[in-house]
Amino acid sequence: MAMAADAESPAPPAGEAAAGDTGGGDIVVSARKRKENLVDTPLAISAYSGDTLTARGVPDIHQLDTIVPSLTVTNFGAGNVSDATLFIRGIGTADHLILTDPGVGVYVDGVYLGRSMGANLDLTNIDHVEVLRGPQGTLSGRNTLGGAVNVVTREPNDSEHYEFFGSLGTRLRATAGFYGNVPITDTLSMSLTGSFDHRNGIGKFVNLPGESTGVGQIDKFGGRLALKWQPSSKVSFLLAVDGSDGHYGLSPMKNVVINPNGFSGLQASDLPVNENDNGTENYQLAKTSSRDLGVSLTSTIKFDDHLSLKIIGSERYSAYSGGLDDDDSAIAFSEYPETGYARQYTAEGALNGEYGRFDFVTGIYFFSERGDANQPNYVYLGSPGDFYVYQNTRSWAYYAHGGFQITRDLKLSGGLRYTDDHKNAYAYIACCLAPGATRTNNWNAVTWDVALDYKIRRDLAAYATIQRGYESGGYPARPYGGAATFIAYNPTYATNYEIGLKGRLGHVLRFSSALFYTQYKDLALQYSQTTADGYLTITANAGRSRTWGVEFEGNLDLTKVFSISTSMSYNNAKITQVDQGVIGIVAGDIPQHTPRWTVAVGPQARVPLASGSILTARVDTSFRSSMYGQSSNNGWNYIKPRYLTNFDLSLEIPKRGLTVSVYGKNIFNEVYDTARIDQYDAGFIEVIRSNDRSEFGVRVRKTF
């Protein structure tokens, strides 16, 4: 997806309270469906501008976890690099199929994206991004059990402005794009952006003669058109259309043979010699793709100085192709070429009011989605098969949230949300679930939150909050065990207890900190088993878990020239109860993709030159401790720690509207695992690997 452009902007000046530097300045966020200063928001929330993300080497959702505390992002789904599977504070769903829902919600301008496939959004062309940690069950609703990511684009305005940007780098990286904002009349304005991104792959398909696509290759186009009509000061309409078309090489992966006597018969000698290469002999799996198209209309009516109404309607369509050759070799053991699509409609009306010491927002929300996943010619144990799943989802929600200013410095806020979900699912598997089975289920949930925040002074606040959230029920993604395993699981609930302190200490430190404890009930545990019929994935409400931890983000402005940005999180997560019958997972295991520590440090020097130009030098280093690729904590699922370092050296020439940058990403060429799939009975571990190898290049931006 392409967003409203700000692609090659330099970092904000040190000490500037822009919406890209998490801290206690006048940073404006919209996490609670109204614009408010970050210091006034009793939530654990990070906010970064598009400028800051570019300077810190974060071009997309995948790389957000290098700077955001308690966030882990993988590209597990169907070998497709457009997938983004998010985990926050130990909660997320490591599956992309239509029968499952994400545990962390992703939104673009208030529109929820129901699928992880295609969610690896381009973040270089945005106004800012907000990452909310902890259950967001009241205002965001379903499937925000771990938290939510809000991507906010720039609206058209009445100022004529043009930008052109591009970059050239190693691995034949080439990007190009433009952004234009034009006032058409006194009441109508338009913005248009377009972008292209190419990068060669990291390896070859050694058993596919003539295949020109490289492993992990990227070719992507995107664009966005926005029209804003404001016939009066009290009424506005914003129409936005966006689309992207991506063609990729299969995500990097490798296999580790752990049981040469497994029933796959796979031996180490069957695997590619170079771990960057792929050994599939199936041409359908070399290339993957994603296509996304969306339209939204946002209508805002301001009745008076106290009351306003916002209505958002949207339609989105996404389609993908991908799949995995599980054995990564020329033997026809386990191959799953796959296509899928999802079409969704959303509508929301929110009434905002502010009367003296009381403010509120109340609204109604509707979500409808249908989609499928199709593997019409997969191969398992050398035999062809047919797999198809379909799901239709409808969800209604009603919510109300309010705040009361008890004293000048003390405020109490809270809210309720009622959600009703209806799902109808169908699964067909030729070997073991024929002629197919249909399941229909309804779930409803009441979620809530309450918060007390106290202004110690204008730019420093403390808060305490309790939040209740839930993740919708669903169905096992791969019911190869037949009708008996195609059974619905119920929603998972979370209650989060949190205290925080955020703001500014003197003129040097801007910071945000949180201490939290979260309990998860009816935990939907996903566990897998390689069987004689296929890769069986079972999901059941078979456990409980808890997570406690601490998070910190800060910006240290040591001088007018030199500053340091930091973030840190510690997560102590544990599955505390596991029911009988669950395979591999035991009480005491750590939830998948939950590192205990994350740390990021970014020193920056911004030096004004005599000519009026500005030279900015920045280095960003991030650390993620070890974690497990699945919630069954055996040694085969262990993922080693990750260390990444980026640099950015930019010269901004304001008189010419020109910025030239030299950059390096992952400069020490760290190769790390993003996911692991335990197939011990088959004899191997499937390892999904990183696609962001070292890259060095030059970036240019010109504004008019």
User: Cα separation of 669 and 666, whole Å?
Assistant: 5
218-232 and 104-108 beta bridge pairing:
unpaired
Ranges under pLDDT 70 in the chain: 1-26, 530-535
User: Cα separation of 319 and 477, whole Å?
Assistant: 18
Q: Are 207 and 190 in contact (CB under 8 A)?
A: no
Q: Are 219 and 248 in contact (CB under 8 A)?
A: yes
224's tokens = 């966005």
104-108 and 147-152 beta bridge pairing:
parallel
Q: Are 523 and 545 in contact (CB under 8 A)?
A: yes
Helices (H), 324-389: none
Whole-number pLDDT of residue 2: 42
Q: Are 552 and 570 in contact (CB under 8 A)?
A: no
The distance in angstroms from the start CA to the end CA of the chain is 25
- Structural domains of the chain in order of their starting residue, each with its CATH number: 28-196+215-247+268-368+375-399+418-703 (2.40.170.20)
Structure confidence by residue, pLDDT tens digits, 38-76: 888 999 999 999 889 988 989 899 999 999 999 999 887
User: Cα separation of 49 and 12, whole Å?
Assistant: 9
Q: Are 693 and 660 in contact (CB under 8 A)?
A: no
User: Cα separation of 672 and 687, whole Å?
Assistant: 10
The DSSP 8-state label assigned to residue 640 in this structure reads -
Rg (CA), the chain: 25
User: Cα separation of 132 and 46, whole Å?
Assistant: 7
Whole-number pLDDT of residue 534: 67
User: Cα separation of 253 and 113, whole Å?
Assistant: 27
139: nearest Cα among 39, 49, 237, 43: 43
Whole-number pLDDT of residue 677: 85
The beta strands (E) that lie in 430-491 are given as 433-457, 460-471
Whole-number pLDDT of residue 19: 35
Q: Are 416 and 386 in contact (CB under 8 A)?
A: no
User: Cα separation of 256 and 277, whole Å?
Assistant: 14
